[in-house]
Amino acid sequence: MSKISSIRKGEEKPYLRKPDWIRVKAPVSKEYAETRKLMREKNLHTVCEEAACPNIGECWAKKHATVMILGDICTRACAFCNIKTGMPNAVDPNEPAHTAEACATMGLEHIVITSVDRDDLEDGGAEQFVKVIQAIRERSPNTTIEILTPDFRNKPGALERVVEAKPDVFNHNLETVPRLYPTIRPGARYFHSLQLLKRVKELDPSIFTKSGIMVGLGEEKLEIYQVMDDMREADIDFLTIGQYLRPTQRHAPLDRYVTPEEFKGYDQMATGKGFLLVSATPLTRSSYHAGDDFRRLRAAREEKLGKG
């Protein structure tokens, strides 16, 4: 079944020419090749490759990579996502050690760990997140850890177990506005995702929370502003907003390219609503410049506490 089988015929828009502000250079650097080689040697997957991220050349040239654990096959079929869908393989018991080894080899100050959805697992994959965090802490104790998790689909104790492992940043993306969930993110529930992030703060207020959405899927400005308000109600610290780029013709159609000026407006609006940090640009992605953003996030909290 097509990822956009639920999107009615006739909604397809004419081909939209990619504007200059969304174009990126092809990855050709020596560092890019070294990062790719390391991922293959450790049998690791990256969301940079699997999701066809436009920033892969820049990030891998700096030896920044977002490791995707729990395999490369997702149990869901979101209409925007380029990751394969199907029945996943067994969980790799060596994955935590290999991830920690790659982190140490690259000398990372900050690492981002994400995963596919694993609705087939009793805990949704939560224990593998815990093992990866623990392995990195043991091998690279000074590395700060950011996780980008699925929603664990209300698996009992899953969220609590991951929070106990104390990642520095807990990210879970809302992806789009509530109205578009039935066609764009049919396997998830908007308010469950909000509640998950709110619960993280209730369990451990010291953990930074982060979430992001894509624009260009047909959402309206007022809907985006409401998402901002919902996120602030859930005490989310960091908001990312980036341009949706259609991976293939099988995926959700692109409605429009949002201008840099409009992104600037979103940045200003979100900052005014009280987020500690906002990243809103056409090329913004969840883990883009994550290390630099973590330092800014920590400084922003210290400044806020100082004023308080």
Per-residue pLDDT tens over the stretch 101-121 = 988 988 888 899 999 999 999
Per-residue pLDDT tens over the stretch 191-244 = 999 999 999 999 999 999 999 999 999 999 999 999 999 999 999 999 999 999
Considering only CA atoms, which of 285, 287, 293, 281 is closest in space to residue 237? 293
Residues 111 and 136 sit within 8 Å (Cβ to Cβ) = yes
One-letter amino acid for residue 172 of the chain: H
- Pick the residue with more confidence: 114 or 45? 114
- Pick the residue with more confidence: 53 or 111? 111
Residue 9 reports pLDDT greater than 60: no
Rounded to 5 degrees, φ, ψ at 288 are -70, 125
User: Given 3.65.10.10, 3.40.190.170, 3.20.20.70, 3.20.10.10, which CATH number is that of 25-307?
Assistant: 3.20.20.70
What's the pLDDT at 106? 84
145 vs 157: CA distance, rounded Å? 21
Residue 264 reports pLDDT greater than 70: yes
What does pLDDT average to over the chain?
Answer: 87
Per-residue pLDDT tens over the stretch 133-165 = 999 999 999 999 999 999 998 899 999 999 999
What's the pLDDT at 240? 96
The domain spans of the chain are: 25-307
- Pick the residue with more confidence: 169 or 12? 169
Per-residue pLDDT tens over the stretch 54-78 = 555 566 555 566 888 999 899 999 9
Considering only CA atoms, which of 203, 51, 192, 33 is closest in space to residue 112? 51
Residues 75, 44, 281, 267, CA torsion sign: positive
Considering only CA atoms, which of 240, 207, 209, 252 is closest in space to residue 8? 252
Residue 287 reports pLDDT greater than 80: no
